[in-house]
């Protein structure tokens, strides 16, 4: 965690995290508490059992009086409005993320990911929040599944909120990244479970499948850096390495047989961070990209650090020379 920034901008701020009891939320909470860089921390989640576990974890910590465990759902605007009172920074991590379940339960996904985003914007404007940073996914780029489509809508809701804020001093931005190492339900965690149970056979949908990959520490670092850099209306995208799923599976020596079962409904062979159709709106730096909402914003973001991309390509997970080394992938399996 030492490489993760300890922004002084959070020192006297009240921070609210939606989906705060989820995988990313818990890691962010740990970092904020370990470094004591907030005035108050509001953990907003609908999962009572996960709330209870966090309360048990921190109840004897000296910073516990500055924590607020807030049960609620982003679908419920009234409850969200109550939680947002006196908050300065909102990190929106709540979402329905499971692709097959979203395909089978579309309205549930729409209510959380789209209507929930609208509620976040409404309550942030009403309560004079200073910054709203929404977490997104590579599946929002050129989406083919409902989850990706709802996150694309969510991204647009947040970036376009800049146009309706009027004179309010509030910023809305988005962070988009790929699979987070160790997140619940990820293929890596599934493979680790298979290793513990010494299972020999693994089902793979397609042997050519690739994915962007980011460690949770790198995701935290990127999100906190974006909170410092955000001006409003942009989508931040980190430069990430990719993995070939079949190569990851082969690192688990207990797996003796790989069954190729075919791509599932809504599943992509390769993911995308942005398409060539967006490149005229993109700035690049050494480690990241910014997708600006329109051409006039390019001047707002252009700096010594960020320069106009001036290239046209699809930033996809199967780009040559962008794959993790065998050593990097082995390190993933040991964490």
pLDDT at 67: 96
Q: Give the CATH number for residue 78.
A: 3.40.50.720
Residue 109 lies in a domain: yes
Residue 77 lies in a domain: yes
Residue 39 lies in a domain: no
What residues does 203 pair with on adjacent strands? 259
pLDDT at 7: 61
Residue 190 lies in a domain: no
d(CA 27, CA 19): 12
pLDDT at 2: 44
pLDDT at 6: 60
**323: DSSP letter:** B
From 26, 71, 44, 74, select the one nearest 183 (Cα to Cα).
26
What residues does 166 pair with on adjacent strands? none
Q: In what order do the strands lie in the sheet with 210-214?
A: 179-180, 210-214, 241-244
Residue 148 lies in a domain: yes
Residue 146 lies in a domain: yes
Residue 198 lies in a domain: no
Which residue out of 139, 221, 244, 284 is catalytically annotated? Answer: 139
Residue 139 is among the residues annotated as catalytic for this protein: yes
Full residue range of the structural domain in which residue 78 is found:
73-180+213-240+272-316
Task: For the chain, count helices (H), then strands (E).
Answer: 12, 17
Answering whether pTM is above 0.85, one says yes
Question: From first to last of its 335 residues, what are the pLDDT tens digits of the chain?
Answer: 445 656 666 888 999 999 999 999 999 999 999 888 799 999 999 999 999 999 999 999 999 999 999 999 999 999 999 999 999 999 999 999 999 999 999 999 999 999 999 999 999 999 999 999 999 999 999 999 999 999 999 999 999 999 999 999 999 999 999 999 888 778 888 999 999 999 999 999 999 999 999 999 999 999 999 999 999 999 999 999 999 999 999 999 999 999 999 998 889 999 999 999 999 999 999 999 999 998 888 877 777 788 999 899 999 999 988 999 888 888 877 66
Residue 18 lies in a domain: no
Helix (H, G, I), strand (E, B) or coil at 59: coil
- Tally of domains in the chain: 1
Q: Provide DSSP, 253-315.
A: TT--EEEE--PPTT--SS-EEE-GGGGGGEEE-SSEEEE-SSGGGHHHH-SSS-EE------E
Cα-based torsion angle of the residue sequence 304, 305, 306, 310 in order, rounded to the nearest 10 degrees: 70
The token pair that represents 36 in the structure block: 């004591």
């Amino acid at each position: 965690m030492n490489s993760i920034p300890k922004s002084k901008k959070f020192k006297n701020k009240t921070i609210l995290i939606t989906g705060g009891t989820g995988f990313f939320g818990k890691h962010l909470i740990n970092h904020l508490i370990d470094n004591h860089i907030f005035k108050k921390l509001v953990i907003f989640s609908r999962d009572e059992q996960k709330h209870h576990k966090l309360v048990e974890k921190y109840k004897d910590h000296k910073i516990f009086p500055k924590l607020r465990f807030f049960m609620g759902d982003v679908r419920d605007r009234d409850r969200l409005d109550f939680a947002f009172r006196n908050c300065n920074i909102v990190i929106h991590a709540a979402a329905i993320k499971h692709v097959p379940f979203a395909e089978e339960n579309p309205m549930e996904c729409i209510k959380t990911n789209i209507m929930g985003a609208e509620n976040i914007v409404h309550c942030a404007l009403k309560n004079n929040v200073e910054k709203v940073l929404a977490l997104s996914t590579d599946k929002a780029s050129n989406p083919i599944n409902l989850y990706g489509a709802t996150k694309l809508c969510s991204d647009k809701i947040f970036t376009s909120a800049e146009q309706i804020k009027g004179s309010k001093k509030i910023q809305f931005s988005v962070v988009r990244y790929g699979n987070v190492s160790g997140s619940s339900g990820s293929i890596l965690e599934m493979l680790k479970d298979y290793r513990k149970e010494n299972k020999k056979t693994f089902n793979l949908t397609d042997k050519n499948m690739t994915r962007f990959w980011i460690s949770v520490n790198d995701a935290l670092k990127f999100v906190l850096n974006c909170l410092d850099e955000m001006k409003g209306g942009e989508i931040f995208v980190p430069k990430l390495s990719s993995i070939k799923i079949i190569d990851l599976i082969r690192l688990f020596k207990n797996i003796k047989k790989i069954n190729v079962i075919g791509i599932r409904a809504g599943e992509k062979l390769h993911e995308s961070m942005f398409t060539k159709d967006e490149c005229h709106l993109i700035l690049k730096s050494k480690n990241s990209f910014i997708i600006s909402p329109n051409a006039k914003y390019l001047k707002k973001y252009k700096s010594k650090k960020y320069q106009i991309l001036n290239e046209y390509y699809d930033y996809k997970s199967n780009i040559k020379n962008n794959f993790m080394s065998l050593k990097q992938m082995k390190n993933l399996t040991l964490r």
